[in-house]
Structure 1
Amino acid sequence: MSLFSPSSLPIARYRFTLLTETPFRLTGYPGAMLRGAWGHALRYLACSTGSPECAGCPVREHCRYTQLFEPLPDTAQGAARDIPPPYIVQAALAQPRALARGDTWSFEMVLFGKALAELPLIIWAWQLAARDGLGDQQSPMCLVSVEHETSSGEWQPVWKNSPGSALGKPPRAPRVQAHVPALAMEQQANHHAMPLGASMTLLTPMRLQHKGRICEPQHLTANILLNSLWRKLELYMEHYTGLPLPAMPPRDGILLQPLSLARQRWERHSRRQQKAMRLDGMLGTLSLHGPLAEWWPWLWLGQYTHLGKNSSFGLGQYRLAPLRE
C-alpha cells in the first residue's frame, strides 16, 4: 500500500481543554509537567497487579500502561532498540504562565497506531491527573473537553464533560463520539506548485544528535536535519503505521539557512528517576532552500512526529511554512 493512497495514516491530533479550580502558576516546560502527571494517572488506572515497580512484573509485556507510556525495547532484530511511545504531548511555550480560578488553557496530544483505540483510557487518565492537581502547587483542574483535528484542520468535539463533574466527583470512563482518527496525507503528495523553500519555526527545544552530541546551532546543516527527520519517521512508521518508508529522497542541493537559532538551556527534575536531566536544545527559525519536492510531504509529517530526542513530552516541535519568493 502506498503512503499516499486514499487510506490515511493512523495518526491523529487531539486538543484537551482544562478549567482551573484554583489559581495556577506554570513553571518550567509545560510538556514535561503534563506528561508526568498523565503517566502517573495512567499507571493507576491501567496497572492490574498493584506492583510498586514495573520491572519484573509478570504481565508487563501486555500491560496497557507499558504499551502506551513506556514501550519495551524491540528485540526482534537481536540488539534491543528503543521504541518511541505512541503519543506526543504538545504544549506551547507561549501560553500564559499564571491563570486565575475559572480560566481555561489547552494543550494537544498526537496519538499513533494502537494508542488511537485507547482514547477513552487516555482521556480518563487526563481527567484523573487534572483532578489530582497539576504543577508544583498541585493545583486541581477539570478536563472540560477533547477535540479532534480533522483533515481540513478544523477542531471537532469528541468528548465533553458532563455538568457537575467539576464538583469533586471522581471521573468515570468517558464515552467518546465516533470520528475518523487518521491523518490525511494524500493532499501532501501533490508536488505541483511546490515552494522554492520552506521555513521552520522551532516551537520547543530541538535536540538533534550529531556524532554523539547535541548539535549546536552553528553546526546545523540540511544533511543533519534531514537525516534526523528520516530516522524519526522510520521509527514511527515502522512501529505504528505498518507502512515502510521508501528510499530517502536525495539531499543534493538542499541548503539550510539559520535565521535566528539559539541554544535553549533547560533542565528538568525527573521524579521517576529522582535526578536532574539536562535537556538543552535549539529554538528559533531556519529556512531550507533547493529541490524540496520529494521532501515536502515528509517535512509536513514531521510536524506530528517532531524532530530529535525527548519528543514524547513535546520537544522538537516545529511549524512548517512554504517560501515562494
Structure 2
Amino acid sequence: MEKKRLSILYIKLQFNLLFEEDTILPEEKVSALRGGMGEMLLRQNCVSDRICEECVFESACIVRKTMYTYMEKKPSFMQGNDSVGYLIECEDYRKNIKAGDTVTFYLTLFGNNIVYFGQYVQAFSQLGMYGIGKNKSRYIIWEIKNMFGQSILKNDIIQMEYFIPEYISDYVERRKKELYLYGCQNTLIFHTPLSLKFHGEYLQKYSAEGILTALFRRIQMLDYFCEIYLDYPECEIIPEIIMQSVKKKRIYRYSSTQDSKICLTGIEGFVTLDKIPEEYLGYILAGEILHIGKNSSFGFGRYEVR
C-alpha cells in the first residue's frame, strides 16, 4: 500500500540564476520568485483582463493549471485553492548580490504540472528580464539541472533527455538505503518554517502526532492530485519526542491579490524521536520532497531526516 500511495510523479529542478549587476535582493526570496512567476504567467497568458469569475476560458486557463490546483476530486479536509502542483525552495539568504553572482533555487513539479515545464521556464526567464523584487534585479537563467546534476538547460540549449521525472517511491527507496547504510538518527531537521494547525491551534513546539497527521494529509492531497484515490494512514503509533529545539520565524511577503503585506509564521529547529516506526519511515522520507503544513508553495515545511 505504501508504494501505491507514493506513486506520485515529480521532478525537482535546480535553477541557477546569474545576476547582471550589483543589486540587493530580499533575504527571503521564495515569495518574490513565486509572485514574480505568477505575474509573468498572467502577462503571457491571461486573455480576460484578470477577471477570472467572468472568463469563459477558465477550464483551459494555463495560469490556473500552473499556479493553482485543479483536481477532479479533493479530500474532505482541503479548503480553498491550495496549491499542491508545485513548490519553490530557496535557502540562499544573501541580500547583497554582486554582478556575476549566482543564486540557486529549486522548483519541484508534481503530477500533470510536470508537462508545463516550458511555461515555468518561460515565466522565470521573463522575470529575469523584468527584474525581481522591489529593486527590479535582473538575471538570466544560467543553468537548469535535474536531481542528479545533469544539465537540462545550459547556454540557452535545452537537453530534454535529462528531463527525467520519477516517482516519490523511487526517491524513498534511495533514501532508505542511505539511512540503513549510515544509520538513522531519528531526527527531523526543519530547514524552513513549519506552519501547522493541530487541534485548532498553530504549533508552538513540535508534536509527533501533529507532524504525522500533516504528513499523511499532504500525501493524500498529492495522491488525489495524481488521481490516486486512497485514504491516508491512521496515526496508530505515536513516537515519543525525546528532544527538540524550536525558534519562531516570521516572514513578510507582499500580496498583489490583497495589495498588502502579509506575515507568514512558523517554527524552525529540530525534533528527535525515540524511534521512527518502520511502517512510517517511507512516508516520513517522502515528506522530504513533499513538505508539510501550510504555505508549502512558499517553501515552508521542508525537513530532512538525519
Q: Distance in 2 between matches of 1:74 and 1:275?
A: 32
Structure 1, gaps ≥5 residues long? 163-173
Q: Distance in 2 between matches of 1:30 and 1:274?
A: 19
Q: Distance in 1 between matches of 2:229 and 2:149?
A: 27
Aligned equivalent of 2:166, options 174, 182, 186 = 182
Mapping of residues 203-282 of structure 1, within 5 Å: 203-217=191-205, 220-240=206-226, 242=228, 244=230, 247-248=233-234, 250-252=236-238, 254-282=239-267
Task: Note closer, same or farther for the CA distance 1:14–1:196 as it changes in structure 2 (3 Å cut).
Answer: closer
Q: Distance in 2 between matches of 1:183 and 1:71?
A: 19
Alpha-carbon offset, residue 283 of structure 1: 0.8
SS in 1 for 2:262: strand
Structure 2, gaps ≥5 residues long? none
C-alpha offsets along residues 57-111 of structure 1, whole Å, 9 cap, x if unaligned?
A: 111122111011023576778998444331000111x542211011111100110
Query: Do structure 1's residue 317 and structure 2's residue 305 form an aligned pair?
Result: no
C-alpha offsets along residues 169-223 of structure 1, whole Å, 9 cap, x if unaligned?
A: xxxxx85512321135247356995956521111111101123332112xx3211
Alpha-carbon offset, residue 273 of structure 1: 1.4
Q: Distance in 1 between matches of 2:207 and 2:78?
A: 30
Task: Note closer, same or farther for the CA distance 1:300–1:124 as it changes in structure 2 (3 Å cut).
Answer: same
Contact 1:3 1:243 in 2 (8 A): no
Task: Note closer, same or farther for the CA distance 1:256–1:273 as it changes in structure 2 (3 Å cut).
Answer: same
Which residue matches 2:86?
87
Scaled by the length of structure 1, the TM-score of the pair is 0.82
Scaled by the length of structure 2, the TM-score of the pair is 0.87
Moved more, 22-31 or 222-231: 22-31
Task: Note closer, same or farther for the CA distance 1:61–1:85 as it changes in structure 2 (3 Å cut).
Answer: farther
Mapping of residues 1-325 of structure 1, within 5 Å: 3-4=2-3, 9-47=8-46, 49-71=47-69, 81-82=79-80, 83-92=82-91, 94-149=92-147, 154-162=148-156, 175-178=158-161, 179-183=163-167, 185-186=169-170, 188=172, 193=180, 197-217=185-205, 220-240=206-226, 242=228, 244=230, 247-248=233-234, 250-252=236-238, 254-321=239-306
Contact 1:75 1:81 in 2 (8 A): no
Q: Distance in 2 between matches of 1:135 and 1:33?
A: 6
Q: Distance in 1 between matches of 2:184 and 2:151?
A: 37
Q: Distance in 2 between matches of 1:111 and 1:129?
A: 19
Which residue matches 1:170?
none
Normalized per residue, which structure has more helix?
A: 2
Contact 2:194 2:300 in 1 (8 A): yes
C-alpha offsets along residues 204-255 of structure 1, whole Å, 9 cap, x if unaligned?
A: 11101123332112xx321111111111111112113636356336324x11
What's the C-alpha RMSD, in Å, of the aligned pairs?
2.8
Letter in 2 for 1:230: F
Which residue matches 1:169?
none
Task: Note closer, same or farther for the CA distance 1:176–1:38 as it changes in structure 2 (3 Å cut).
Answer: farther
